[in-house]
Amino acid sequence: MTPLLKTEGLTVTFGGLNANDGVDLIVEAGSFVGLIGPNGAGKTTFIDAITGYVPTSSGTANFDGHDLSALKPHKRSQLGLVRTFQSLELFEDLSVRDNLLVAAHPARWYTLVLDILHLRQQTPEVDARVDWALEVVGLSEQADVLPTDLPHGQRKLVGVARALAPQPKLVLLDEPAAGLDTAESSALGDHLRGLLNHDITVFLVDHDMGLVLSVCDYIYVMDFGQIIAAGTPTEIRTNPDVRAAYLGEETGEAQTRYAEELHDLTGSEDER
Ligand SMILES: Nc1ncnc2c1ncn2[C@@H]1O[C@H](COP(=O)(O)OP(=O)(O)OP(=O)(O)O)[C@@H](O)[C@H]1O
Ligand SMILES: [Mg+2]
């Protein structure tokens, strides 16, 4: 099988720090792949590098037969490589639906003003894609409200839906479950898993270990910019290097968070 996304030796350097350090990673078409790791491991940097938001210092990235290195972010999204952002960046003055309409044409990011003026004249095809994206994340009934009027959990879902509106081949999600409670996270997982039925491959970065372990087919674990483990959810749960990476953290707040994540890892193991 040809990988949809493949990186070899991908390295991103900030000053003297290798935020990504020789990352070899494969995402097969039609699969659901996770990337986990402690705070500062380099997960967002990886998404930034793949989508062209930070330059790579060495290594290669190939998407759907295209060498990505020379391509600007909007070219990459035109190829079907679309991301969400860890920090929510919605247009607060536009309705949920209009937030998606603006994103439905990746080529038009630079003519945003025109888009806004012509929002009501979108083609039926674009309308259908926006309706579909809203339905996928369960936001059809919130289409006409402003994002500011939604609870945090649903605002996160608007960000996911916006990434889906262009109907990408691969969607890279950076912590979509942050701020969601367990029930919302589980519902999100069901929606995301359903994307595979729409020929959308999913790459998920999240700290919600329950979500990652339950929805992913394959999981990479990053620490200090390097992939320290990779495998099925079952393999990751029992991998000693993974547990060491989570236990090795020393600062108080982070330690509490990792303890919870570790509990997810261990708890799931104990339940079996
Ligand atoms: N633009 C930048 N300039 C300099 N250093 C950066 C930049 N972006 C990230 N870093 C550093 O690179 C490392 C990796 O950061 P990154 O945000 O990729 O981690 P992360 O795994 O996404 O963490 P989190 O789980 O907290 O989101 C960190 O040490 C961070 O401080
Ligand atoms: Mg991050």
pLDDT digits (tens, 9 = 90+) for 221-263: 999 999 999 999 999 988 888 888 776 554 455 556 666 777 7
Centre of ligand 2 to C-alpha 261, Å, is 16
Q: Which residues line ligand 1 (CB under 6 A)?
A: 14, 17, 19, 37, 39-45, 86
| Lowest-pLDDT range of 14-18, 25-29, 100-104, 139-143 | 100-104
- What is the pTM for the complete model shown? 0.86
Task: List, in order of start, the domains of the chain with CATH numbers.
Answer: 1-80+169-272 (3.40.50.300), 89-167 (no CATH)
DSSP character at residue 188: H
Say if CB 33 and CB 219 are below 8 A apart: yes
As a whole number, mean pLDDT of residues 93-116 equals: 71
Instruction: Look at residue 269 and tell me whether its pLDDT is greater than 50.
Output: no
> What are the counts of helices (DSSP H) followed by strands (DSSP E) for the chain?
11, 10
> How many alpha carbons lie under 13 Å from residue 192 in its C-beta half-sphere?
33
Instruction: Tell which one of 45, 204, 227, 246 to mutate to probe ligand 1, the residue whose CB is within 8 A of the most ligand atoms.
Output: 45
By alpha-carbon position, which residue is closest to atom 17 of ligand 1?
A: 44
Say what percent of the chain tops pLDDT 70: 85
Ligand 1 atom 11, closest CA: 19
Distance 114 CA to ligand 2 centre (A): 32
Q: Which residues on neighbouring strands pair with residue 107, listed in sequence order?
A: none
Nearest ligand 1 atom, CA 42: 18
In degrees and rounded to multiples of 5, residue 230 shows phi and psi of -155, 140
* Pick from 59, 35, 7, 62: nearest CA to 172: 35
- Mean pLDDT for the stretch of residues 156-178: 91
Q: How far is the CA of 208 from the centre of ligand 2 (A)?
A: 13
Pocket test for ligand 1, best of 13, 44, 48, 212 (most atoms within 8 A of CB): 44
Give me ligand 2 centre to Cα 221, in Å: 13
Tell how far the Cα of 15 is from the centroid of ligand 1, in angstroms. Answer: 12
Ligand number nearest CA of 224 is: 1
Residue type, 18: N
